[in-house]
Amino acid sequence: MSDVISRSRRGLAMQGMSALVALAVMGSSTTVVFAQAPAKAPPAAKAAPAAKAPAAAKPGDKKAAGAAFKKGKEAFDKKDYKAAKESFLQADEIMPAATAQYYIAKSSEELGELPDAVKYYEKAIADGKLKDDHQADAKARLEALKKKPAKVKVTSDPPGATIVVDGKPLTEKTPAEIELEPGTHKITLQAAGKKDSEQAVEVVAFTGASLNATLEAAPPPAEDPFAKKPEPAPAPAPTPEPAPAPAPVDTKKDMTWVYVTGGAAIVALGVGTFFGLQAMSSKSKFDDAITAGNAPLARDEREKGTRNALISDMGFGIGITLAVTSAVLYFTRPEPEKAAAAKSTTKMSFAPVVSPTSGGLSATVNF
């Protein structure tokens, strides 16, 4: 603080001395005005020198071209294809080289800029200074790009026409967008009742093409005067009357003779039983008459008993014979489908059998 005050006083003293000198020079009539000298402005800061723009690389500058190519290769390896393409283009502008053009084409292909890729692949191949592996890869990539299908928009009036490309029908119907290899293709549109529309379409690589056709009505087919007219169809043959339905087959087996012989056997056995009981009664009465000495009664009962016994034997004989016959007929009766034939060929006959001690009925069956 004291230093500041001292400097101020010295400033004032110097100003006073300057005023006295001025008074002595100008005379006593001069009015002197004491005023404080204005403070000095601080020195302005020096401006920084303007940066110089880098000098543009001269064409043919091998060093600059190499630096740009190196920068592009680093970006390409990092898959920054946009920055890589810019650096490769810069290197090719300074010093055209097949390798730079090869990488420009690859970067363009990765970016989807296919026309540029084709352009620079062709330049790199034409230069003829690529490495063998790069040369082969560039040719293969160029060939694949040139064959890459392009989109072709196909429309028709009316819509719904069948699309035939180079003779091969497609599943798509108009309107449709199909993909075809670059080159000229014959496209035909077909629809029912319409004339075919055929056009040659040039498909440009990466651009494609478009086709719009108005289908005209097809004229009716001309009648051929020499065509053979179809003969009238022959009248349908009369429907034959249906054959009479076959008579229903009796599914039941014929049991007539089984029932007849069985019934007769029962009757005959009943007769034999009845007269057998009568014979036993006469035998008892005969024994009683002999015991009582009644000879006439004994003679009558003997005759009755003998007669009853004979009838009983005959009844039992006939009954047994008929029962056996019925059983044979039951187990040997024909099947239903053979019943009719069996009825016409089967015969049965009976004959009585009488002996001094027994009697019966003989049955004969002829098949």
Q: What is the pLDDT of residues 26-67, one digit of tens each?
A: 333 333 333 444 444 444 444 444 434 345 677 878 899 899
- Cα torsion 264, 265, 270, 273: sign: positive
Please report the pLDDT score of residue 137 as a whole number. 94
pLDDT band for position 84 (cuts 50, 70, 90): very high
Asked which of 146-155, 204-213, 250-259, 299-308 is least confident by mean pLDDT, the reply is 250-259
Tell me: pLDDT of 339 over 80.
no
The DSSP code for 204 is: B
With a pLDDT cut of 90, the percent of the chain lying above it is 25
Strand partners, 200: 186
pLDDT, mean of residues 234-245: 75
Please report the pLDDT score of residue 148 as a whole number. 85
The rounded distance, in Å, linking the Cα atoms of 246 and 249 is: 8
Please report the pLDDT score of residue 364 as a whole number. 62
Residue 317, H or E segment? helix 295-331
Please report the pLDDT score of residue 99 as a whole number. 92
CB 196 within 8 A of CB 190: yes
Tell me: pLDDT of 4 over 50.
no
- Among the listed residues 38, 67, 42, the one whose alpha carbon sits nearest the alpha carbon of residue 54: 67
Please report the pLDDT score of residue 200 as a whole number. 92
CB 203 within 8 A of CB 177: no
More confident residue, 346 or 12: 346
pLDDT band for position 11 (cuts 50, 70, 90): very low
Tell me: pLDDT of 80 over 90.
yes
CB 328 within 8 A of CB 365: yes
pLDDT band for position 110 (cuts 50, 70, 90): very high
Residues in the chain, overall count: 367
pLDDT band for position 279 (cuts 50, 70, 90): confident
